[in-house]
């Protein structure tokens, strides 16, 4: 939206400049016209003081030699020119704005496509998982691998959810894996520590990156859920 606003401001500035130039042009034209009127009026006075010799049977008609241009016509001309400049500025603003909006929409669509499930990374492999309990905490550790056929993953995070012995959700915690960037074939350990629960029955591990859930495949010999 900032690009659209800047484009609109520039367009209106161009329109204002065009209107100013038009106004100056009209004013200069009017000034030149007034100078011509003054010069012709001076010539007319000289002619009026000259002696007139009318022949018999002829009459002198009082016909003006010069008429000043109507003021209303000039005013309408200026208004038309200014209105035309404003119309041009508005059209230019709309064209630039719509062009910027189209580019912004295209970028947004590209971003959505890049974050869609079809464009997301392939499932990662969970190759190791264990846990240990202390007096007040439980720590879940493991190793995750980005498969050779996968895509580069940035800031992968491990999420651990705890359930009680009845299978009800208790709490959860998360922590980034040790390696910030996982290229295809890379492995990284992770460790998530949560408050221990006396009724802890099992836990579940999942992964995410940039708020997108990254599916995983359990490559261990034992079940993922404990």
Q: When comparing pLDDT for 184 and 15, which is higher?
A: 184
When mean pLDDT is compared over 30-34, 41-45, 68-72, the highest value belongs to 30-34
Start-end of H helices in the chain: 2-48, 71-115
Which tens digit of pLDDT belongs to each residue from 135-168? 889 999 999 999 999 899 999 999 999 998 888 9
Mean pLDDT of the chain: 74
pLDDT at site 117 = 44
| Single pTM value for the model | 0.46
Q: When comparing pLDDT for 176 and 24, which is higher?
A: 176
pLDDT at site 199 = 76
Task: With a cut of 70, say whether residue 105 has pLDDT above it.
Answer: no
What is the distance between the alpha carbons of residues 174 and 208, in angstroms, rounded to a whole number?
10
pLDDT at site 88 = 63
What is the distance between the alpha carbons of residues 93 and 99, in angstroms, rounded to a whole number?
10
pLDDT at site 226 = 44
| DSSP 8-state code for residue 104 | H
pLDDT at site 68 = 46
Task: With a cut of 80, say whether residue 56 has pLDDT above it.
Answer: no
65: pLDDT confidence band, cut at 50, 70 and 90? very low
List, in order of start, the domains of the chain with CATH numbers: 2-115 (no CATH), 124-218 (2.60.40.10)
Q: Quickly tell me which residue has 């520590």 as its tokens.
A: 193
Work out the widest C-alpha separation in the chain, in whole angstroms: 138
What is the distance between the alpha carbons of residues 158 and 181, in angstroms, rounded to a whole number?
14
Question: Is 123:215 a contact under the CB 8 Å cutoff?
Answer: yes
């Amino acid at each position: 939206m900032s690009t659209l606003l800047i484009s609109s401001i520039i367009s209106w500035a161009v329109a204002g400049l065009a209107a100013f130039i038009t106004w100056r042009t009209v004013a200069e034209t009017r000034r030149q016209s007034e100078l011509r009127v003054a010069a012709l009026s001076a010539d007319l006075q000289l002619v009026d003081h000259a002696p007139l010799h009318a022949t018999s049977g002829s009459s002198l008609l009082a016909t003006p030699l010069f008429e000043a241009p109507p003021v209303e016509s000039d005013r309408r001309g200026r208004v038309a020119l200014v209105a035309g400049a404003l119309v041009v500025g508005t059209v230019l603003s709309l064209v630039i704005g719509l062009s910027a909006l189209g580019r912004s929409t295209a970028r947004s669509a590209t971003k959505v496509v890049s974050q869609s499930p079809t464009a997301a990374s392939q499932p990662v492999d969970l190759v190791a998982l264990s846990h240990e309990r202390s007096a007040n905490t439980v720590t879940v550790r493991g190793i995750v691998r980005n498969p050779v056929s996968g895509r580069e993953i940035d800031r992968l995070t491990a999420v651990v959810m705890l359930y009680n012995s009845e299978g009800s959700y208790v709490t959860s915690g998360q922590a980034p894996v040790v390696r910030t960037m996982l290229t295809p074939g890379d492995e990284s350990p992770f460790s998530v520590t949560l408050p221990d629960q006396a009724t802890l029955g099992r836990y579940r591990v999942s992964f995410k990156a940039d708020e997108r859930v990254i599916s995983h495949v359990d490559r261990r010999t034992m079940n993922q859920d404990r």
